[in-house]
């Protein structure tokens, strides 16, 4: 490799580079420490990003809907017909989907059953559900729509039969329910319950989900808290906060390996300066100032950091490609902007650790009296 320009421009760099090649194995091992540290920080950070992006994808679907739930003032903890109408009046143009939810035993065939499954009675499932298999009916009079997670658990497909609370019914579609709940959807008239457990509101195009939630709260809760309408972005805020903590925690774990790498560099640099004590004495004798010695030795530790950091960053990208491919089925998630930040932080940490570890040996060597160093 030709470093002509750099050598000429930065003589300390030249001397540092040559010194590191003197004991390539030792330098390589010291840099390897930094590689491991950087990979630990970057990979864990990037893994947290993958989980976060994945979770955000799920929540973004529910973000476009508003869920209206009974408030403390609701009778029997259910929403009344009047509540549903008032919600509709509060947000003209919105699609209002009342739901009746019950918890009942569900089974399919002899082997597969759930003691308590969430069964949701709904009038217009096509307004907010999408089928991955079969079709979501516009007019829902019979049969059942099964969330993909439930379909997997009960091992049922479209056309097969499911027994809900003792009544057998045919699966019309497997749906992506969105969000985190796994439900079975049945026609609302088949659910025997007074009032509604919740109302799903799909905002009109002129309003965001948050604005809709605020409007409903303001209009219905004038005198008492009839309904509870959480802001849809509340969940994603909580999730994002959780993942920030997770990423910080994982980065902290990764940092431990970088500290170990720092100790190894400290050791290597100390050994190297002790071995080269006479040589450093000669440099001082022929006119190198203390700061020149400091520059050379710090350049050495910085070079170890830069090499370790670069290799570490490349390895981290490869690891992240693999992890994302196998875990979330999207290798390109590696190049998410948030990961770029993680990589830069890991790289900078690597270099700062290296330079930090080189400080004491460099300071010690620079401050030695040349006559003492030459005598050794």
Partner 1 sequence: MTAIEVTNVTKEYQTGEETFLALKGIDFSLARGEFVSIMGPSGSGKSTFLNIIGLLDQPTTGSVSLDGQDVTELTDRRRTTVRKQTIGFIFQDFFLIPTLSAKENVELPAIYEIDETIRSRATMLLERVGLGNRLKHHPDQLSGGQKQRVAIARSLINSPRILLADEPTGNLDSETSEQVLDEFTRIARDENVAIIAVTHDPQVTEYTDRTIELRDGRLTS
Residues 158 and 135: their CA atoms lie apart, in Å, by 9
Q: Which residue among 32, 260, 282, 352 contacts partner 1 (CB under 8 A)?
A: 282
Whichever of 25 and 332 has its CB closer to partner 1, that residue is 25
Please state the closest distance from residue 27 (CB atom) to partner 1, in A.
Answer: 12
Stretch that binds partner 1, among 104-112, 153-161, 244-252, 368-376 (CB under 8 A): 368-376
Number of residues near partner 1 (by CB under 8 A): 22
Please list every residue from 20 through 59 that binds partner 1, using CB under 8 A: 21-22
Binding of partner 1 at residue 287 (CB under 8 A)?
yes
Q: Which residue among 13, 19, 99, 197 contacts partner 1 (CB under 8 A)?
A: 19
Please state the closest distance from residue 375 (CB atom) to partner 1, in A.
Answer: 8
Stretch that binds partner 1, among 13-21, 52-60, 154-162, 209-217 (CB under 8 A): 13-21
Q: Which residue among 252, 285, 318, 340 contacts partner 1 (CB under 8 A)?
A: 285
Please state the closest distance from residue 286 (CB atom) to partner 1, in A.
Answer: 4
Please state the closest distance from residue 47 (CB atom) to partner 1, in A.
Answer: 41
Whichever of 64 and 369 has its CB closer to partner 1, that residue is 369
Binding of partner 1 at residue 352 (CB under 8 A)?
no
Binding of partner 1 at residue 15 (CB under 8 A)?
yes
Please state the closest distance from residue 18 (CB atom) to partner 1, in A.
Answer: 4
The structure tokens listed for 155 are 């091992």
Stretch that binds partner 1, among 54-62, 76-84, 123-131, 365-373 (CB under 8 A): 365-373
How many other C-beta atoms are found inside a 10 Å radius of the C-beta of residue 289?
11
Stretch that binds partner 1, among 46-54, 83-91, 279-287, 339-347 (CB under 8 A): 279-287
Residues 191 and 209: their CA atoms lie apart, in Å, by 28
Beta-bridge partner residues of 68: 199
Residues 87 and 227: their CA atoms lie apart, in Å, by 10
Angle between helices 24-63 and 290-327 (to 10 degrees): 40
Q: Which residue among 290, 328, 335, 364 contacts partner 1 (CB under 8 A)?
A: 290
318-338 burial by CB neighbour count: b if 16+ within 10 A, else e?
A: ebbbebbeeeeeeeebbebeb
Residues 173 and 338: their CA atoms lie apart, in Å, by 37
Q: Which residue among 292, 315, 321, 352 contacts partner 1 (CB under 8 A)?
A: 292
Q: Are 319 and 231 in contact (CB under 8 A)?
A: no
Long-range contacts of 100-106 (CB under 8 A, 24+ apart): 100/188, 100/191, 100/193, 100/195, 100/196, 100/197, 101/183, 101/197, 101/198, 102/191, 102/193, 102/197, 104/164, 104/165, 105/165, 106/150, 106/154, 106/162, 106/163, 106/164, 106/165, 106/184
The footprint of partner 1 (CB under 8 A) covers 11, 15, 18-19, 21-22, 278-279, 282-290, 292, 369-371, 374
């Amino acid at each position: 490799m030709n470093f002509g320009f750099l050598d000429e421009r930065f003589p300390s760099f030249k001397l540092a580079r040559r010194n590191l090649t003197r004991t390539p194995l030792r330098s390589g091992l010291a840099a390897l420490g930094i590689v491991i540290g950087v990979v630990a920080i970057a990979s864990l950070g990037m893994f947290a990003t993958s989980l976060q992006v994945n979770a955000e994808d799920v929540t973004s679907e529910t973000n476009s809907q508003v869920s209206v739930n009974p408030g403390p003032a609701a009778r029997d903890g259910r929403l009344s017909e009047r509540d549903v109408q008032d919600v509709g009046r509060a947000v003209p143009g919105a699609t209002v989907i009342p739901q009746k939810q019950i918890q009942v035993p569900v089974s399919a065939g002899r082997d597969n059953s759930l003691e308590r499954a969430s069964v949701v009675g709904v009038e217009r499932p096509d307004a907010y559900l999408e089928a991955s298999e079969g079709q979501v009916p516009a007019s829902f009079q019979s049969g059942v729509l099964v969330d993909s997670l439930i379909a997997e658990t009960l091992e049922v497909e479209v056309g097969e039969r499911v027994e809900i609370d003792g009544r057998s019914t045919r699966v019309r579609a497997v749906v992506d329910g969105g969000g985190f709940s796994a439900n079975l959807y049945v026609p609302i008239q088949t659910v025997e319950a007074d009032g509604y457990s919740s109302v799903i509101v799909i905002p009109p195009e002129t309003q965001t989900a948050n604005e809709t939630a605020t409007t409903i709260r303001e209009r219905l809760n004038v005198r008492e808290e009839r309904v509870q309408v959480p802001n849809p972005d509340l969940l994603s805020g909580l999730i994002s906060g959780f993942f920030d903590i997770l990423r910080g925690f994982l980065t902290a774990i990764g940092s431990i390996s970088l500290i170990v790498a720092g100790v190894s560099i400290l050791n290597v640099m100390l050994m190297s300066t002790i071995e080269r004590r006479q040589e450093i004495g000669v440099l001082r004798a022929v006119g190198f100032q203390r700061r020149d010695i400091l520059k050379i030795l710090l350049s050495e530790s910085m070079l170890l950091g830069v090499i370790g950091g670069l290799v570490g960053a490349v390895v981290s990208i490869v690891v992240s490609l693999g992890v994302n491919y196998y875990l979330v089925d999207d290798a390109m998630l590696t190049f998410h902007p948030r990961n770029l930040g993680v990589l830069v932080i890991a790289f900078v940490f690597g270099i700062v650790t290296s330079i930090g570890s080189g400080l004491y040996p460099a300071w010690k060597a620079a401050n030695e009296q040349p006559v003492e160093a030459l005598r050794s």
